[in-house]
Amino acid sequence: MGAGTEGAKARWRRETLDPAARPSGGRRGPFTTISDRPVEVLYTPEDLADVDPARDIGAPGSFPYTRGIHATGHRGRLWTMRQFAGFGTPEQTNERYRQLLAAGSTGLSVAFDLPTLMGRDPDHPLALGEVGKCGVNVASLADMEALFAGIRLADISTSMTINAPAAMIFAMYLVAAEQQGADWTALSGTIQNDMLKEFIAQKEYIVPPRPSMRLVTDVVAFCTREVPRWNTISVSGYHIREAGSTALQELAMTLRDGIEYVQWGLDAGLEVDAFAPRLSFFFNAHSDFFEEIAKYRAARKVWAHVMRDRFGARSERSWTLRFHAQTAGVSLTARQPWNNVVRTALQALSAVLGGASSLHANALDEALALPTADAARLALRTQQIIAHETGVAGEVDPLGGAWFLERLTRDLEIGVLEYIERIDRMGGMVAAIERGVPQREIAASAYRFQQAVERKDIVVVGVNEFTPGDDRPVEILYIDDHATEWQLARLDRVRRQRDRHSVERALASLRAAAGSETSLMPPILEAVRSYATLGEMCDVLRDVWGEHEEPATF
């Protein structure tokens, strides 16, 4: 390149950087993001030749929302500090919720145990040792009543992490609210109800992908009519990232999943602007600070274009991507667990700077067990310190316009658009999942990451470097088997006290609906009211649609 055409950046590199770097040699690389994306030493306006500030970055509250979906950002309203919690019996979790609400938490978030997530009653052989271990056990309406006893459901917003049996658990929530005298139209909250990421990453599925998608779509259609303030699907990248994907894969797979749900809704006869505003997103807040902020910004921009240009949505509420973020569980270390407080704070900060609508900060002991009450409170305090002491919540998208950040945002957008096209060519995400495509991509990324850690190309403080240190064990929450006995006793009581004929009638209607094309929500509500158990309802679906099993490959 002749001197005449040499740009300012190239000249800086030749005249200033190279002479400065030569004597010191500099730090050993590689200089990449945690997702293996190469990072240059400096970014300048020359790196943004393909970015038109007005068109691509815009202003907060206006299309394409790169800088945020609200003009006022967190100045208008702080994000919801929503700490995911649940363990043991409904009574034990109910007590934790009351503590969290008293400590200033502004929404509840229910963690269910594995038998519940898999649609198995506590007395099923596969539930052995699992009742109440990873979350709260809910097997029937009686448990849901106990879970929210004394908490007015009309006055709070509740998020429920439930997927394969989402329709049944949601129906239990609706009936419990109804018993409190709450009107369904007043209820607000979210059910995760995202089966695609279950098949891709989290692997808590019951029936095969296509009937699973039908159940998801039935819930969406039902809420659109009956529970209009409810968020019907939380399209989740969180678990995709936890399973080992890169930031780009997390974003691309999640947005393509969102497209799949919208398409199924349209195919079921719904009007796009009637249901799209109630889709929300859930991303991971991982450790690479700038890459994560860029990920949230790119997400908003791509989604706005997808909804307007691909689906022809006309409502602004369909164009805007709202998201919940949770700090990266997978980044927590069992060794030197106090370091996790710092990791989590930085991850939470990236989510705030990226415009999260709600946030969960992990507790320091979560690589060891479910959090103790003290650890959970410290995680909430971490959020409160970011909100009230750092000053970052006073302006919208404070890092917007940083050349590095805008370059990363644009690169992620380009990568996502390519991925969407690739999945489109395969016939959509359900087809790609059936061929095992995203599953294999994630497993490969997870292994590459682990190899980089072993080579120390990626440093994990306290694990592969800086290992001598304070390894005193932290006090952990030990969950005994009390929950199993308690839940088995209630299950037994429920089965003895309910009217057997109503249960049988309701389960027969559910079976008939599953075998036809009618909505599953009315028979599920009927079954819940009769105190049919979660396992009984899911067994009907297993029976009609078959159980899904994934080929065991690695």
Q: Report the interface residues with other proteins, using CB under 8 A.
A: 114-115, 117-118, 120, 125-130, 133-134, 198, 202-204, 242-244, 330, 332-335, 367-369, 443, 446-447, 450, 453-454, 460, 463-464, 473, 476, 478-479, 549-554
Comparing CB distances to other proteins, the nearer of 19 and 554 is: 554
Smallest separation, CB 280 to other proteins (Å)? 23
Residue with Cβ nearer other proteins (337 or 354): 337
Task: Name the residue type at position 488.
Answer: L
CA triple 227-74-248, angle to 5 deg = 80
Query: Which C-beta is closer to other proteins: that of 133 or that of 360?
Result: 133
Neighbours of 106 (CB within 10 A): 15
Packed helices 209-226 and 166-179: angle between N→C axes, nearest 10 degrees: 30
H-run or E-run covering 191: strand 188-191
Of 353 and 363, CB closest to other proteins:
363
Spatial contact of 369 and 135, defined as CB atoms under 8 Å apart = no
Taking the complex as a whole, the smallest distance from the CB of residue 166 to other proteins amounts, in Å, to 16
Minimum gap (Å) between residue 203 Cβ and other proteins: 3
The helix (H) or strand (E) run that includes residue 65 is none
CB of 81 to other proteins, least distance (A): 26
Cα 104–Cα 109–Cα 110 angle in degrees, nearest 5: 135
CA pair distance 479, 455, nearest whole angstrom: 37
Q: Which is nearer to other proteins, 127 or 399 (CB)?
A: 127
Minimum distance, C-beta of residue 202 to other proteins, in the bound complex (Å) = 6
Do 222 and 521 meet the contact criterion of CB atoms below 8 Å apart? Answer: yes
Distance separating alpha carbons of residues 100 and 90, to the nearest angstrom: 15
What is the amino acid identity at position 77?
A: R
- Residue 241 CB, shortest distance to other proteins, in Å, is 10
Q: Which of 230, 285, 282, 225 is nearest to 258 (CA)?
A: 282
Question: According to DSSP H, which parts of 399-531 are helical?
Answer: 403-425, 429-434, 437-454, 482-497, 500-515, 521-529
| Rounded least distance, CB 130 to other proteins, Å | 5
* Least distance (Å) between residue 258 CB and other proteins: 22
**Nearer CB in complex with other proteins: 213/243:** 243
Amino acid at 166: A
Shortest Å distance, C-beta 330 to other proteins:
8
**Least spacing, CB of residue 341 vs other proteins, in Å:** 17
Distance from C-alpha of 479 to C-alpha of 489, rounded to nearest angstrom:
18
Q: How far is CA 548 from the centre of its chain?
A: 23
Give the nearer residue to other proteins in terms of CB position, either 57 or 127.
127
β-pairing, 188-191 vs 230-231, is: parallel
Minimum distance from residue 464 beta carbon to other proteins (Å): 7
CB neighbourhood size of 211 (10 A): 18
With contact defined as beta carbons under 8 Å apart, do 126 and 117 qualify?
Answer: no
CA distance 209 to 170: 20
Instruction: Give the distance from CA 431 to its chain's centroid.
Output: 22
CA pair distance 93, 160, nearest whole angstrom: 13
Give the residue carrying structure tokens 């409502």. Answer: 315
Q: How far is CA 342 from CA 140, 141, 320, 444, 461, in A?
A: 40, 40, 31, 29, 11
Is residue 215 exposed (0-12), middle (13-18) or buried (19+ Cβ within 10 Å)? buried
Shortest Cβ 273–other proteins spacing (Å): 35
Cα separation, 307 vs 309, whole angstroms? 6
Quickly list H helices, 25-89.
73-76
Q: In angstroms, give the least distance from the CB of 122 to other proteins.
A: 12
Nearer residue to other proteins within complex by CB, 318 or 326:
326
Beta bridge partners of 157: 188
Q: Whole-angstrom Cα distance, residue 38 to residue 71?
A: 33
Which C-beta is closer to other proteins: that of 127 or that of 353?
127
Contact 108, 97 (CB under 8 A): yes
Of the pair 205, 222, the CB lying nearest other proteins is at 205
Min separation Cβ 376 and other proteins, Å: 17
**C-beta of 5 vs 553, nearer to other proteins:** 553
Sign of CA dihedral 291, 293, 294, 300: positive
**CB of 88 or CB of 523, closer to other proteins:** 88
Q: Which is nearer to other proteins, 125 or 269 (CB)?
A: 125
Of residues 117 and 345, the one with the C-beta less far from other proteins:
117
